[in-house]
Amino acid sequence: MDAICRDCGARQDTGRGGPPGRCAACASPRILAHNELHALAIAHIDCDAFYASVEKRNRPQLADKPVIVGGQRRGVVAACCYIARLKGVHSAMPMFQAKKACPDAVIIPPDMELYRKVGRQIRDLMLGVTPLVEPLSVDEAFLDLSGTERLHGGSPAETLVGLIERIENEIGVTASVGLSHNKFLAKLASDMDKPRGFQIIGRSETLGTLRPMPVEAIWGVGKALRAKLLRDGIKTIGQLAGCGEDDLIKRYGVIGGRLAHLSRGHDGRPVNPHGNAKSVSAETTFSRNIKSLSALSGRLWPLCETVARRLKARNLAAKTVTLKLKTSGFRILTRSHSLASPTQLAEVLFRSARPLLQKEADGRAFRLIGIGASGFADAADADLPDLLDSRLETYAKIENAIDSVRRKFGAPAIKKGRSLLGE
């Protein structure tokens, strides 16, 4: 059995039947041993409680305290540290429930710009070991390290040990690794051992590992699909694997074919360094419920500006605009509108979403509003001159001028009047 030390990276002598209890070089007990240790190359890296970890890094006095990142009075938990999790706190929990579960928690409002900055630093370290990095979010990604042995002088597993050590020492946060022979299993593995974990699922053990797992362990099986599977008597991945692919497609449609493949550990998707983002969005939770259409519109506008900025940064344009609202009773409403042509402009996003908002702002109180853009197209096709609507060219000129001022003097330097309605 092959083995390496997860702290110093030294290969371990396993000639006497099994991995040593401690590293021969540094005496660390964190020994990683597996029969396929040096034969696997697809990894999933996920930072541990990322937002909370960044906050603790910046405030060492909070190291041993429960930390929750989220809205102070309203909203939901964006992230929490493992100490808070032991008290029953979890992501997406309403903040009032989180406070009841962990009344001594330190609550910190999220600083997304800081988290993105740290995420970019981590991404740069990942790109230093392989160009095949597929981001899933600001703090997690797939990596394909196939063929990097000669470049780094070691197997992918050894390279990953060094990468995680650099993330901890240079960035100041911890991360967990899943290593396997495809993306589905790598992500599954990284969730099995947290925090500071390194889990491996080899080819020979794939079916044995999957068989007893609940069906919801499969990526993409949410509450609705899980309920359907349970109604049909399918509780485990092993039971799912025992069903024929044609039968699963007949029962559950196209996703039935996906379930058939994943339940057997098959996943042919390559690691795509360009990512697979399907939408760009922004939302905000109010400190107090809002009923007024004008006040809601004022809150909507800066979100449209944020989404437009993100579209431009990614060189994307969108053909579908989606409005999101959450009522005072926590009911989520989404309403969408398809554009005649793709856009990158905040003005177009706002003018498409506002009629949707007008229909819903019927006196009900809302606690959250959001805007999303999807149906991506190339930026070169965005906001082309329209002979039937000369306003589009005017919108583009005004927005380009605003962008230019902000690049030079910062975002607060200039605002449109409608944004003041939400203040």
CB contact at 8 A, 265 and 206 = yes
Question: Helix, strand or coil for residue 106?
Answer: strand
Q: Assess whether pLDDT exceeds 60 at residue 421.
A: no
Q: Which stretch, 64-78, 186-200, 374-388, 404-418, has highest mean pLDDT?
A: 186-200
- Confidence at residue 133, expressed as pLDDT on a 0 to 100 scale: 93
Separation between Cα atoms, residue 362 and residue 96, nearest integer Å: 27
Separation between Cα atoms, residue 84 and residue 63, nearest integer Å: 12
- Confidence at residue 273, expressed as pLDDT on a 0 to 100 scale: 84
Q: What percent of the chain has pLDDT over 70?
A: 91
Mean pLDDT, residues 398-405: 75
pLDDT in tens, 10-22: 998 876 655 668 8
Mean pLDDT, residues 34-63: 96
Bond before 195 cis per omega within 30 degrees: yes
Separation between Cα atoms, residue 145 and residue 136, nearest integer Å: 17
Separation between Cα atoms, residue 386 and residue 54, nearest integer Å: 47
Separation between Cα atoms, residue 316 and residue 334, nearest integer Å: 22
- Confidence at residue 255, expressed as pLDDT on a 0 to 100 scale: 85
Mean pLDDT, residues 264-277: 83
- By DSSP bridging, strand 2-5 and strand 31-34 are antiparallel
Mean pLDDT, residues 321-341: 92
Task: Supply angle C-alpha 281, 286, 289, rounded to 5.
Answer: 125
- Confidence at residue 395, expressed as pLDDT on a 0 to 100 scale: 76
Q: Which residues pair with 198 in a beta bridge?
A: 177
Q: Assess whether pLDDT exceeds 60 at residue 208.
A: yes
- Confidence at residue 80, expressed as pLDDT on a 0 to 100 scale: 95
The set of residues, in sequence order, having a beta carbon less than 8 Å from that of 37 and lying 6+ positions away, is 1, 2, 3, 4, 155, 157, 200
pLDDT in tens, 215-268: 999 987 888 889 999 999 999 999 999 999 999 998 888 788 889 999 999 999
Buried b (16+ CB within 10 A) or exposed e, 248-285: bbeebeeebebbbebbebebeeebebeeeeeebebbbb
Q: Assess whether pLDDT exceeds 80 at residue 315.
A: no
- Confidence at residue 386, expressed as pLDDT on a 0 to 100 scale: 58
Mean pLDDT, residues 79-93: 93
Residues in the chain: 423
Residue matched to tokens 């960044």: 54
Catalytic-role residue among 36, 55, 140, 347: 140
DSSP 373: E
pLDDT in tens, 151-173: 999 999 999 999 999 999 999 99
Beta-carbon-side half-sphere exposure of residue 277 (alpha carbons within 13 Å): 22
Mean pLDDT, residues 108-122: 92
CB contact at 8 A, 198 and 184 = no
- Confidence at residue 58, expressed as pLDDT on a 0 to 100 scale: 96
Q: Assess whether pLDDT exceeds 90 at residue 76.
A: no
- Closest alpha carbon to 47 in 129, 118, 106, 105: 118
Separation between Cα atoms, residue 423 and residue 299, nearest integer Å: 8
Question: Helix, strand or coil for residue 229?
Answer: helix
- Confidence at residue 418, expressed as pLDDT on a 0 to 100 scale: 62
Q: Assess whether pLDDT exceeds 80 at residue 390.
A: no
Q: Count CB-CB contacts under 10 A for residue 423.
A: 9
- Confidence at residue 423, expressed as pLDDT on a 0 to 100 scale: 45
pLDDT band at residue 377 under the 50/70/90 scheme: confident
Q: Assess whether pLDDT exceeds 60 at residue 388.
A: no
- Confidence at residue 347, expressed as pLDDT on a 0 to 100 scale: 92
DSSP 68: E
Mean confidence (pLDDT) of the chain: 89
The answer, as to whether pTM is greater than 0.85, is no
pLDDT band at residue 99 under the 50/70/90 scheme: very high
140 is catalytic: yes
Q: Assess whether pLDDT exceeds 80 at residue 314.
A: no
